Structure 1
């Protein structure tokens, strides 16, 4: 009998594993980096051990430190979560050698399925259909650049260039012509090396506009293996999943059975134990092809839990203790529909750039059929060191439309003040007609949201300006409401993004009238509580949540959120705007490549520097045409957000 579980991970997955482990009577141990000392998973565990500094290589990827923490606390089993060391065969082996139980599959299965190259070869032998491609030489080392280029001519375009190790879309490129291949090989190798420490690549024939459907499998030590339905993960951006749902609106009962049996065959072929996910591409004719097997619990496992009524972490712990699976295939039933989205601190209007900062307020919505898996709470800091996911938001319904409605409402009613998020972007996806019809493929986001103006910040309405002025006026009045305040007229300057708006605010008792440009709007204040206004707007009673941080104000009303700054009493100050030639880091991170040097001529939009942050590469581009006057960054540098990287001098005008 296992008694004490160490979770070798952080964030929402650590919190989620702790929840089930505690319910089953296990004592729990958290590990944390110095940056996570006050994290939610640390607070919720029975014990916690610091394993190193913020950098993942020195903490969450430090197997020796994690094993020392297990020894120090007397933990007898280790759950890896997902990411970090979860699919590291060496880590699983080291746990076993230390006399502890690894809550995951055998190391030989992890090693086999951790290589896209070797796993595809194994699946072909097992009779599982695979995407045609090139996995490298039959014997010997990984494929060279020249071998990949030669093989590509035989496969034909378009094709997918993929890192053999890892996942999450890193080291993956769609290549549509021979002229693009060499540069994409270079970039894919670099990204794969940064992400996984392994730059091996394979080629696959591109399946155009497929569905990405995965099967949840489970196996025990007694030869039993089952599948628990499928998850549709077709809605992706840059090959990373954005929306996951179960069951798939595209999969028929016959296809579910065929894919499920193929997934079980794949698991048995590699001597699997525990939770695993077999991922397939499905074309428009419902032909399916093996992509890879993830030898861990998936980020999107909650949708499977909600439609099966099973706790997959509990199943993992049963298997780790040597118990048989709790259900046979015939006993597994699917009920209703579940949809999950990943709420990120990122800015869709700026190329989905990850955001950092303090969560002044984080309040998940509540309601029937809703589930939030999160590792953060109000007051936490979103740091540049880790993935910027704030929560997984999951909605269950008796049918798909009910799940969609609940999820949209959950996103609109969730309050996040302090960082920009993708909340409204996610809500728009779920409400989209193509998604609603169940017709979204992997090309859906690129087709439906490419250059979509609605992703850019929308101008504030006069009503939203009035609500902003109302909240500022209440905080500045020093009184409980305005009932005793004399009638006043107040000029006010609000900064919204880079724009300054000049308002005239008239206050008379409970009534506030705001004028801006040629518009005017009137509100009546009903009640005020800390962080909450109740107002009457044209006869309709409504609420507005807000949080003030100095001169900054964050607000949310009717499913829309925005922020403003009160600069009424601030002196005007010049600032470098777009096109200044002062190219700065968009976030904290590491410089992995500098593509220009002093004296080079560049054009607006040209990539100057490659910045790596939050496990992704981000191009830093020229904001105007000109000549590079100086380069202030080198490959390997750690840089801060807004740090100056490159300066561009504008071209001299003819005749000047």
Structure 2
């Protein structure tokens, strides 16, 4: 396909404004909001990347900034970026960022004029919006009534149906049949994939309804769920709207957000590639109609599923700024946050929005391991460098292309398990889609992020996948291509062979594993160079011996993915390298922070950085995170056979109806952990007997903590 057709003239994208002045006079809320009220200081009721993003626009407009922070965020990047900061005592979101009364008090104490909610937390809470305004502060968002109207997905669908917006009809669980499958269970007050389940067998419906209700109650304090058809193979397409208090509604194009994991977006782009013009026009008109029907004001997004037959269905309206708003800013040149602030001050939008220019693609960089069922990761960030970045947290005015970074962390920050695992958003903008994809993949592949394991490699593979390049997109893309993209959990396999001390060795074949092994060799040689340099007399690596030496042995585990690599090597008198499995590789030079290898006649340079047992090997060809493994396992680190360890730090939120002595089946859920806004099931690894259950609801557990023990059944 011709990528330029997807970034053509404005009329092709329906970018013309929808002006609803003719629909009647503005509401009383809109008239009140239209009165000019200059803002001098803004408190952002949020954290991380979005707080820093809002601060950027405030600075550009000459507005002072106030941050709030929970105790784990006391030294976080968003706190350092603000002019002032107010502590919210505690560490759990329910005690801090979800306490509207504390946030309003913080705004008043800091002398702020207004509150910007960001996204997540209280951004779509009508009671919070009213509390802000009741305190005499400006609410930088839509009217509380509009937030309330869209707050319940069930109520929102009723309103949209009445306004003529196409919607899925809700189903009665007692009346569905096999002909209705597959089905989707959704939380009425949900978001971010929480409280959502796909049901493919009627026998599983009751259990999935109960599980979704329990998750929704835990996440949103509202256990209401509903049932609707699941559109297999559909695309997730959303429309950005911007409305003022004077009767103007802009439609600023659409975004394709089909690449998702656990119903949460991973890659987003605009314009939506390959979308027929008639479908695009229908989406834009439906979004404008939705905004008008609730008297909307500010930035908002109307989300749709587009079925395989091209018919769109309303999903929900996000009455706030979206995570993926930067792609719209890139192709329009607008600063949406600045316009949120101006509209809150009473400003009017111009008659027409800017034209759409080029194509923009955003990738969300998460601290998680896709190869291990998306397990969240935690720990310190030592280095974070994305090459070629043109701007942070802002549009790219006056340019035809560029690379934008919206980081939520900075070197020195610690990624915890209390909050969303997103570390940053990387956005590429270019005249065509193909150019934008190539630039974004190139930047991500060379990103140096020394810290927790991330989904960086998955993003690069997805962006370079031929199906993605051809714009054959739907919400099942990642699942359908899981094996090629490195998504786990992998299929069951026999136990890996072990080396001395019981350390598993799982060397694998394939280009990715080969790259990891080369990085592990560079790490081993850099470590040897460091130990030599620290000796009493500095000598060249591989110093002279009068007898042949035994091979040196180092073991590393690659993160993410978990493959372990055993490196055995020997260095001759002149530094000649002999290494098992590297017959075509010669050592050019080795220093503690840089190793140069000749691989089959091609010289490759590897930069090596070690932080305790964590080692990061970066080059233009491979960027690999490794954990150095001990040669021998300490006796105290060995757990009883059948022990189920916590795969990440988290909180035990539910335990199955089980007790020690009960029989369990392989794959049977035993308990649920919550970490970084996601639930993780801890299941029985084999059929057998539950002999111990140490987990307790509400208990915070560390990585590797023993939660339960299952004694596996043995044959006769």
Query: Which of 455, 462, 467 is the aligned partner of 2:522?
Result: 467
Residue 547 (structure 1) shift: 1.4
Query: Which of 351, 365, 374 is the aligned partner of 1:328?
Result: 351
| Cα distance change of structure 1 residues 209 and 514 upon mapping to structure 2, 3 Å threshold | same
Q: Which residue of 1 aligns with 2:662?
A: 600
| Cα distance change of structure 1 residues 169 and 550 upon mapping to structure 2, 3 Å threshold | closer
Q: Which residue of 2 aligns with 1:45?
A: 82
Distance 1:70 1:504 in 2: 61
Residue 494 (structure 1) shift: 1.6
Q: Which residue of 2 aligns with 1:585?
A: 646
| Cα distance change of structure 1 residues 579 and 9 upon mapping to structure 2, 3 Å threshold | same
Residue 417 (structure 1) shift: 2.0
Q: Is the 8 A contact 2:68 2:85 kept in 1?
A: yes
- Report the secondary structure of 1:61's partner residue: coil
Q: Is the 8 A contact 2:368 2:377 kept in 1?
A: yes
Distance 1:484 1:517 in 2: 21
Q: Which residue of 1 aligns with 2:693?
A: 631
TM-score, normalised to structure 2, is 0.84
Q: Which residue of 2 aligns with 1:501?
A: 566
Q: How many residues align?
A: 635
Distance 2:178 2:550 in 1: 73
Whether 1:615 and 2:677 are equivalent positions in the alignment is: yes
Whether 1:515 and 2:539 are equivalent positions in the alignment is: no
Greater length-normalized contact order (CA 8 Å, ≥ 6 residues apart): 2
Q: Which residue of 1 aligns with 2:372?
A: 350
| Cα distance change of structure 1 residues 459 and 258 upon mapping to structure 2, 3 Å threshold | closer
| Cα distance change of structure 1 residues 579 and 299 upon mapping to structure 2, 3 Å threshold | farther
Q: Deviations over 1:208-264 (max 9, x none)?
A: 211110000011110111110000011112211111000001323333232112101
Whether 1:524 and 2:588 are equivalent positions in the alignment is: yes
- Report the secondary structure of 1:235's partner residue: strand
Q: Deviations over 1:577-612 (max 9, x none)?
A: 899311111222221221221111223332211111
Q: Deviations over 1:139-170 (max 9, x none)?
A: xxxxxxxxx42243499222221111121111
Distance 1:518 1:311 in 2: 52
Q: Is the 8 A contact 1:361 1:547 kept in 2?
A: no
Q: Is the 8 A contact 1:522 1:537 kept in 2?
A: yes
Q: Summarize the alignment of residues 69-468 of structure 1 with structure 2, pairs less than 5 Å apart.
A: 69-134=106-171, 148-153=172-177, 156-325=180-349, 327-329=350-352, 331-367=353-389, 369-449=402-482, 459-460=513-514, 463-468=518-523
Residue 553 (structure 1) shift: 2.0
- Report the secondary structure of 1:394's partner residue: strand
Residue 450 (structure 1) shift: 5.2
Distance 1:525 1:52 in 2: 52
| Cα distance change of structure 1 residues 410 and 55 upon mapping to structure 2, 3 Å threshold | same
Query: Which of 678, 687, 706 is the aligned partner of 1:644?
Result: 706
The range that moved more, 542-551 or 67-76, is 542-551
Q: Deviations over 1:2-33 (max 9, x none)?
A: 10011110000111111111111000001111
Q: Is the 8 A contact 1:487 1:506 kept in 2?
A: no
Query: Which of 28, 52, 61 is the aligned partner of 2:65?
Result: 28
Distance 1:295 1:423 in 2: 30
Distance 1:501 1:306 in 2: 46
The range that moved more, 591-600 or 47-56, is 591-600
Q: Deviations over 1:495-525 (max 9, x none)?
A: 223757251231656x451412584621212
TM-score, normalised to structure 1, is 0.91
Q: Is the 8 A contact 2:556 2:629 kept in 1?
A: no
Residue 283 (structure 1) shift: 1.6
Q: Which residue of 2 aligns with 1:145?
A: none
The range that moved more, 489-498 or 366-375, is 489-498
Q: Deviations over 1:252-289 (max 9, x none)?
A: 33332321121011001001100000001112232111
| Cα distance change of structure 1 residues 421 and 481 upon mapping to structure 2, 3 Å threshold | farther
Q: Which residue of 2 aligns with 1:547?
A: 609
| Cα distance change of structure 1 residues 566 and 70 upon mapping to structure 2, 3 Å threshold | closer
Distance 2:204 2:686 in 1: 26
Distance 1:176 1:648 in 2: 29
- Report the secondary structure of 1:553's partner residue: strand
Distance 1:220 1:303 in 2: 21
Distance 1:512 1:3 in 2: 67
The range that moved more, 554-563 or 269-278, is 554-563
Q: Identify unmatched segments of 5+ residues in structure 1.
A: 135-147
| Cα distance change of structure 1 residues 23 and 393 upon mapping to structure 2, 3 Å threshold | same
| Cα distance change of structure 1 residues 204 and 419 upon mapping to structure 2, 3 Å threshold | same
Distance 1:40 1:195 in 2: 26
Q: Is the 8 A contact 2:585 2:597 kept in 1?
A: no
Q: Is the 8 A contact 2:257 2:269 kept in 1?
A: yes
Distance 2:318 2:640 in 1: 44
Distance 2:419 2:448 in 1: 22
Q: Which residue of 1 aligns with 2:19?
A: none
Q: Is the 8 A contact 1:490 1:506 kept in 2?
A: no
Q: Is the 8 A contact 1:360 1:547 kept in 2?
A: no
Distance 2:208 2:224 in 1: 13
| Cα distance change of structure 1 residues 42 and 572 upon mapping to structure 2, 3 Å threshold | closer
Distance 1:350 1:575 in 2: 25
Distance 1:27 1:552 in 2: 40
| Cα distance change of structure 1 residues 255 and 220 upon mapping to structure 2, 3 Å threshold | same
Q: Which residue of 2 aligns with 1:144?
A: none
| Cα distance change of structure 1 residues 454 and 60 upon mapping to structure 2, 3 Å threshold | closer
Distance 1:225 1:378 in 2: 41
| Cα distance change of structure 1 residues 584 and 313 upon mapping to structure 2, 3 Å threshold | same
- Report the secondary structure of 1:604's partner residue: coil
Q: Deviations over 1:310-352 (max 9, x none)?
A: 1100110111001011x334x4211111111111111111101
Distance 2:594 2:529 in 1: 11
| Cα distance change of structure 1 residues 190 and 430 upon mapping to structure 2, 3 Å threshold | same
Residue 630 (structure 1) shift: 1.4
Q: Is the 8 A contact 1:87 1:110 kept in 2?
A: yes
Residue 201 (structure 1) shift: 1.3
Distance 1:396 1:500 in 2: 38
- Report the secondary structure of 1:233's partner residue: strand
Q: Is the 8 A contact 2:359 2:433 kept in 1?
A: yes
| Cα distance change of structure 1 residues 278 and 155 upon mapping to structure 2, 3 Å threshold | farther
